[in-house]
Amino acid sequence: SDEQLTLTINGKTFTLDVDPQMPILWAIRDLLGLTGTKYGCGAGLCGACTVHLDGKPARACLTTVSHAQGKQVTTIEGLEFAELKQAWSDNNVPQCGYCQSGQLMSAAALLAANPSPSDEDIDSAMFGNICRCGTYTRIRTAIHDTAK
């Protein structure tokens, strides 16, 4: 049953009447209208729904509203990623684009934790973000271009 819960998303506080077990993916997309976070598999397997919880990548389809309470939730709409965005554009990374906000959320979290990642670091950080179009090589190049 619904409860009143408070979420902090992209630095703003929202009070919602929701089932605390609802995945934050639906709160973000349907209740708050932030549609940059995508629904792919709904089972934690594809990474399309990746957001940050206190700066760390998390699958919004598996994260309940109650778990996200009290944490800083960041979506692609609130991510500061000018350099990564430029590198994505310079390398023409997206193809169909569907998975790309999740890819960018994971890449941004990686670079925040590790400003100059190796190929292995990139592969292990990006492993859970599936791209049906196979943009992996361009993603890796764009991450290297952004790395300090």
Residues in the chain: 148
Q: By the criterion CB under 6 A, which residues form the site for ligand FES? A: 39-42, 44-49, 59, 61
User: Which residue, 48 or 104, has its beta carbon nearer to ligand FES?
Assistant: 48
Least Å distance between CB 109 and ligand FES?
Answer: 15
User: Which residue, 87 or 108, has its beta carbon nearer to ligand FES?
Assistant: 108
Name 4's bridge partners. 17
Least Å distance between CB 60 and ligand FES?
Answer: 6
Q: Which residue is nearest to ligand FES (CB)?
A: 61
Q: Which of 146, 135, 148 lies closest to 87, judged by CA?
A: 146
User: Which residue, 63 or 91, has its beta carbon nearer to ligand FES?
Assistant: 63
Least Å distance between CB 45 and ligand FES?
Answer: 5
Measured between alpha carbons, how far is 131 from 147 in angstroms, rounded to an integer? 22
Alpha helix (H) ranges present in 15-135? 24-26, 65-68, 82-90, 100-113, 119-126
